[in-house]
Amino acid sequence: MVDVERLWRRLSDLAEVGKQESGGVTRLSFTDEERAAKDLVASFMEDAGLLVREDATGNLFGRREGKDPDAPAVLVGSHVDSVVGGGNFDGPLGVLAGIEVAQTMEERGVETVRPVEVVAFTDEEGARFSFGMIGSRALAGTLSEEELKHEDEAGISIADAMRDRGLHPGRIGEAARPQDSLAAYLELHIEQGRVLESEGLPVGVVTGIAAPVWRRLVFTGETGHAGTTPMKLRRDALAAAAEVAAVVEQEASAAGSSVGTVGQLGVEPGGINIIPGRVELSLDLRDIDEGTRDLVEDRILKRARALCERRGVGFETEVLQRMTPVSCSETVRGAVRAACEGLGLRTYDLASGAAHDGMQLVGLCPVGMIFIRSKDGVSHNPEEWSSKEDCAGGTNVLYHATLDLASRQR
Ligand code: GLV
Ligand code: MN
Ligand code: MN
């Protein structure tokens, strides 16, 4: 069994980095807070006896050799960046549990055939640049220099942010792992939903991951005096955008399995007595079924264009990122199921509504995930919580599944 007190202590220590008054954390990618989080995690990796290194995009790795150092490694981990005002478990649990797994192997003198590597990926969340999974895309060799042009709110591009951290955007290709270099990727994560809690179960086996499409929607109307412009003569960009936000809710609800969110709203000029002339909305739309998601997206855009035309408001939209839903590997799911059974836990299959780095890696190696129960399903929120017992349970499942996958002959 893993050392739950050590795991819990490390989770608490990491929660101090980028801590907000709300009790949650803000650790955006390539900031001092994210750097400090990676430094702390690197020190934990060193304590665990792992060989620590960072790649060309800042992905942090800790490696434990196997009997066959040339065998493809089993990669476990997650991320340490967060959304603005995020919780203390989304990401850190998977990284720290991975270290705990490797350290427990070390302390028990366990020898595996395959190396085990623990990773803290760079920018899973996409919270800074509205474009995420930068590190895992790079590992899969799919990150392009063009994609490094995405900018944050201050107009700083990913490439510039990398340069500020001493990383070279022109060298992202060096982070790519060759085909057949990884035997599997396995991530422990909080569920961030209510399914396990409602089933009364601590742990679940992830079957697949729903995929988001992220868009920016821009509405252009006419700025004017709030007191002198009659209602019928207005071209109010915010009134149009508000109608579209309601359309997002209607269309996603009508599809049943889809979820649609407008999480960002920018209003210009933003005066109490000025009719809004320009509005930007974000759209996050997801489904485990790509066809359904794309159909809902089409419906939303069609209705948005029609209602903007009726209002005389300009409408433009661009895709920020579009992901494809993935199925988890049968091999990795089997190892997780066997680990659950060995620990006397009921195996329970569920899909992930949240996106995860594994989505980027399916072309590189078999991918799987383990979920643990989230309190009230709350996440991307300072109140995010999973109990110490459930973190320990999930980490023990991760230990046995990793041991199984790493013990297999090539
Ligand atoms: C990441 O947590 C996401 O699902 O957006
Ligand atoms: Mn996460
Ligand atoms: Mn998240």
Torsion of the alpha carbons at 326, 62, 120 and 89, rounded to the nearest 10: 100
CA 79 to ligand 2 centroid distance, Å: 7
pLDDT on residue 410: 64
According to DSSP, the residues that pair with 368 across neighbouring strands are 186
CA 253 to ligand 2 centroid distance, Å: 25
- Residues 245-260: tens digit of each pLDDT: 999 999 999 998 999 9
CA 378 to ligand 2 centroid distance, Å: 13
CA 404 to ligand 2 centroid distance, Å: 24
pLDDT on residue 23: 87
pLDDT on residue 361: 98
Our answer on whether the CB atom of 125 is closer than 6 Å to any ligand 1 atom is yes
- Residues 119-160: tens digit of each pLDDT: 999 999 999 999 999 999 999 999 999 999 999 999 999 999
Question: What is the rounded average pLDDT of the residues 391-410?
Answer: 96
Is 90 exceeded by the pLDDT of residue 26? yes
pLDDT on residue 69: 87
Dihedrals φ, ψ of 25, to 5°? Answer: -130, 155
Our answer on whether the CB atom of 152 is closer than 6 Å to any ligand 1 atom is no
Tell me the helices (H) and strands (E) count for the chain, helix number first.
11, 16
Q: Which ligand sits closest to the CA of 94? A: 2
CA 31 to ligand 3 centroid distance, Å: 17
CA 356 to ligand 2 centroid distance, Å: 6
- Ligand 1 nearest-atom number relative to CA 379: 2
CA distance 386 to 15: 14
Count of alpha carbons within 13 Å of 123, Cβ hemisphere only? 25
CA distance 371 to 190: 5
Our answer on whether the CB atom of 117 is closer than 6 Å to any ligand 1 atom is no
- Ligand 1 nearest-atom number relative to CA 90: 2
pLDDT on residue 22: 87
CA 357 to ligand 1 centroid distance, Å: 9
Is 80 exceeded by the pLDDT of residue 32? yes
Our answer on whether the CB atom of 359 is closer than 6 Å to any ligand 1 atom is no
pLDDT on residue 367: 98
Our answer on whether the CB atom of 354 is closer than 6 Å to any ligand 1 atom is yes
Dihedrals φ, ψ of 198, to 5°? Answer: -70, -25
CA distance 385 to 379: 8
**Rounded to whole angstroms, what are the CA distances from 105 to 40, 62, 109?**
21, 13, 6
- Residues 268-321: tens digit of each pLDDT: 999 999 999 999 999 999 999 999 999 999 999 999 999 999 999 999 999 999
Sort residue 116 into left (φ over 0), alpha (ψ -120 to 50) or beta.
beta
- The answer to whether 196 and 204 are in contact (CB under 8 A) is yes
Average confidence score pLDDT of the chain = 97
Pocket test for ligand 1, best of 189, 214, 352, 380 (most atoms within 8 A of CB): 380
Dihedrals φ, ψ of 109, to 5°? Answer: 65, 30
- The answer to whether 110 and 401 are in contact (CB under 8 A) is no
CA distance 351 to 359: 13
DSSP string, 167-199: --GGGGGGGPPPTTSEEEEEEEEE--SSHHHHH
Crossing angle between the packed helical segments 92-108 and 4-14, to the nearest 10 degrees: 140
243-269 burial code (b ≥16 CB/10 A, e <16): bbbebbeebbeebeebbbbbeeeebee
- Residues 47-93: tens digit of each pLDDT: 999 999 999 999 999 999 999 989 999 999 999 999 999 999 999 99
CA 206 to ligand 2 centroid distance, Å: 14
- Residues 227-248: tens digit of each pLDDT: 999 999 999 999 999 999 999 9
- Ligand 1 nearest-atom number relative to CA 83: 2
